[in-house]
Chain A
Amino acid sequence: MHENDTWLSRRTYHHSEFADIEALVRRKEERGLKVSLCFPTLNEEATIAKEIVLIKGELQMRHKLVDEIVVIDSGSTDRTREVATEFGARVYLATDILPEIAPYRGKGENLWKALYVLEGDIIVYVDADIKNIHPRFVYGLLGPLLKEDGVRFVKAFYDRPISLDQKTVKPSGGGRVTELVTRPLFSSFYPELAQFIQPLSGEYAGFRECFDSIPFPIGYGVETSMLMDIYERSGMEAMAQVDLDKRVHRNQTTVALGRMSFGIIQTFIAKLRSSGRATMAGELHKTMIQFELEDGEYRPRESRIDIVERPPIIQIEAYRKKFPARGDCP
């Protein structure tokens, strides 16, 4: 599947390569960088405390690798914000950030707004629903960014789905949506991006300029869109992926994954059109139709999924004021 000098072999890492955390701290200090960690949340009371506790204990108190831990919450109705504050994270309600801009609700919105409140040069995004959180989730992502000069963006993958140093190739370990939707689309239009083992994983890190100069879809599709944009702007060599072993999280129903796929396809096609890679005669329908069996009859259930996209945050004046060093960048 791959030869020695391919992107896959050059830019695929394993977290154990970066287990010497003190070496990463030294590298960070030599380069004068600050690291921000962001957890986007919506009703994650069950897992958020453990994530903060473990990362804070290991990567802030014992090793000074992470400079700030920030939670951006979409309006949880459980104790997410309270618990996160109690364990020492800085917690924001997404609607309180840039209040002059009409709010949307969605993970992409949180990630986008986080850029305004995070102070770091490197930003690490980690989903808040990980049951088996371990410091490797963070230092594994930071490793390639700190150690390899050319790497500007790192994406996580899990479960050792491929073996890089042997001929045997195990089935790749993407989820259902990855294997049935994203990878076929990437293979058709962006074959290089098909090398990301898990393009939809919710854990990634990058230098600020990777994120502040790209648009963010507010809902489904943020991960897909991000890969396409960073690829267009910086190319594959600036991107890397890291194997974080096993990740345990809640499973979603096929129906929910169907809606997610719909969102991803919509985002993908919009991107294709704006980049000039495809043209279409008309507009796409915005409603996903699914069926429920009720009293022996199939009833359609419609979900309207609008693809709303935030512009690159660097275009927002308040952001340029807060980060003047970034202000003159295109």
Chain B
Amino acid sequence: MVQPLKDMKELLIGNVVLLGEVPSYAGTWQSDDEMGSIDYSVRARFFADRLTELGVDECTTDPIGNPIGIIKGRDPDKPPILVCAELDSLYNPAGDIHYAVSGESIVGPGLMDNAIGAAAVLSLPDVLRRLGVSFESTVILAGIANTMRDSRNLVLVDAFVEYLGVRPAAAIVVKGGELGRVNYFTEAVIRADIVCDRNPEVHGIQPNMIVVANEIIDRLLALEIPQKPETTVNVGIIRGGYKYGAPATTARIGLEVRSTSNDTLAKLLAKIREILELVRYERRVNVDFDITVELGAESLGWSHPLTQAAISVLSALDIEPGVYPSVSELFYFLKRGIPAVTIGVANGSDYHQDVASANLASLYTGLAQLVGLMMMVDGEAIDARE
């Protein structure tokens, strides 16, 4: 199946470029029914228009503006297969986005996360028709927009699954990279902002907030982290201050805590809150703890037919599967009992830079994997959770 996909390379690359060059941040869109304008992802609008153009049977948007295309299956009684991708790119450059295509690769900001993943889903109506592949089950193709908005990354994914209105037999979450990944379980994750700023109730000199943040980080690093269940604490972002010669009035720490155990994470979270309380009182400053993402540990199970289907499709393509936990949208499917896996469709590099690049040959294989997995899901009784 890889060669026929390679023969469609102009169509596939075209979709990647056209989608990736549409900015993923929110725009304002006047709704068709003229009920008013709503904040809307311009990339979502493009995705919906393009799905219609490429010939889905129906195209709609859910109540929060996520574009959804439907390819009707032969058996209306079978539950549908959901194939979805995040539409947003984590990395948004200033100014216009231009992709470059060379003989072997595509290069451009936001490409691997997640323009190429979204373009793979977008290409399916055309690809399936050209391959002559049709399904018993109805296929739902969806782009999930605004997931990066205001750091509320995944809340909107939760809402998307909630609004689906139908329980799919299986969900395939498509990521740009890396080709070979199979995520069938999730880790418990907390992503949070710790914001230190001045307490207006306190008069007199207040401490430098960078020093306060530093104290918090020192205390976080002193926490005892178990090796089992596997648990990590990562200080990933730090921002503060405004001038060389002045004490910082605010400082922000971006923190991620992960664990394979929900219980361990909850205990660790309680300790972190204790540290923040302690610093708040001892230093007499404001310390806010703002959780932006909260995911639990869930697993579809290694022997689940969907996991096994994903593994066998990769093996058939001679790709060594990469199994590791997802800390992303997969959780929202698994927590509702919807069998789901996350796969990648391309090999690439520099994911979050201007020169993010994807290997073209890997994209053809990645799409063959996606179509193959959809065919297996269609043919098997997947909808039976362990």
Contacts and interface: CB of A to CB of B under 8 A. Distances in A.
Interface of A: 45-47, 49-50, 52-54, 56-58, 60-62, 79, 82-83, 86-88, 131-132, 134, 248
Contacts of B13: 50, 53-54, 57
B96 interface: yes
B103 A49 contact: yes
Chain A CB count within 10 A is highest, among B9, B101, B102, for B101
Interface stretch (B14-22, B246-254, B342-350): B14-22
A184 B96 CA distance: 32
Contacts of A132: 21, 96, 98
B14 A54 contact: yes
A53 B17 contact: yes
B228 to A, nearest CB: 50
A49 B9 contact: no
A29 to B, nearest CB: 20
Interface of B: 8-11, 13-14, 17-18, 21, 96, 98-103, 126
B254 to A, nearest CB: 34
A292 B118 CA distance: 51
A53 B98 contact: no
A88 B10 contact: yes
Contact of A79 (B96, B98, B99, B103): B103
Contact of A131 (B10, B11, B14, B98): B98
A61 B101 CA distance: 18
B14 A47 contact: no
A49 B102 contact: yes
B200 to A, nearest CB: 48
A86 B103 contact: yes
B369 to A, nearest CB: 22
Contact of A46 (B10, B11, B96, B100): B100
Chain B CB count within 10 A is highest, among A57, A83, A131, for A57
B102 A83 contact: yes
Contacts of A47: 100
Contacts of A52: 10
B337 to A, nearest CB: 40
A248 B98 contact: yes
Contacts of B10: 52-54, 56-57, 60-61, 87-88
